């Protein structure tokens, strides 16, 4: 229920008001609103986005792509202080930090999430819908694979602390 609490949906009228569809049943609410998948690698369940987004992914998927954050870190090192709990990812389609995770496979920034299903990976450097002029350093400040691939940036807590 951590996701619903984080998103402040644990106080949704459907859960807390008598007569609500999920009154007194927050776990049922979460299972109705969110997607959970079994990680192909470690065989543990993981949060994979809102159910509304999962429907956009369709039923045609490769189960080997369903990999939890801890197993899909790619080149990111496991943080010695925070483990894999606060891994940040780049958007699959541009050089922005992702804030959405949908279909159990794809990290998006907000503008790219709003265009889900109509995205074309932009060349680096790019931010949201805009390609940046040639020679502009990547706004992520790191070397990453070509846009169109998943990539973990590392521990978000430690990355933010370094900026102070």
Residue 11: Cβ-neighbour burial (10 angstroms; 0-12, 13-18, 19+): exposed
Instruction: Give DSSP secondary structure letters for 103-137.
Output: TTTEEE-HHHHHTTTS--PPPSSEETTEEPPTTPP
Q: Which of 91, 94, 95, 102 is catalytic?
A: 102
Distance CA 83, CA 32 (A): 29
Distance CA 58, CA 73 (A): 25
71 is catalytic: no
53 is catalytic: yes
Cα dihedral 151, 6, 68, 42 sign: positive
Q: Which of 53, 68, 109, 155 is catalytic?
A: 53
Q: Residue 103, by phi and psi: left (phi above 0), alpha (psi -120 to 50) or beta?
A: left
Active site residues per annotation:
53, 102
């Amino acid at each position: 229920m951590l996701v619903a609490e984080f998103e402040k949906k644990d106080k949704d009228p459907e859960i807390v008001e008598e007569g609500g569809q999920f009154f007194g049943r927050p776990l049922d609410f979460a299972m109705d609103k969110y997607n959970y998948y079994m990680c192909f690698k470690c065989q543990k369940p993981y949060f994979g986005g809102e159910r509304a987004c999962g429907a956009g992914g369709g039923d045609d998927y490769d189960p080997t792509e369903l990999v939890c954050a801890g197993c899909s870190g790619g080149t990111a090192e496991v943080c010695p202080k925070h483990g894999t709990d606060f891994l940040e990812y780049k958007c699959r389609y541009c050089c922005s930090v992702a804030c959405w995770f949908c279909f159990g496979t794809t990290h998006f920034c907000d503008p790219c999430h709003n265009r889900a299903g109509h995205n074309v990976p932009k060349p680096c450097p790019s931010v949201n819908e805009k390609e940046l002029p040639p020679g502009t350093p990547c706004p992520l400040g790191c070397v990453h694979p070509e846009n169109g691939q998943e990539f973990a940036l590392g521990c978000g807590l430690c990355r933010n602390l370094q900026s102070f």
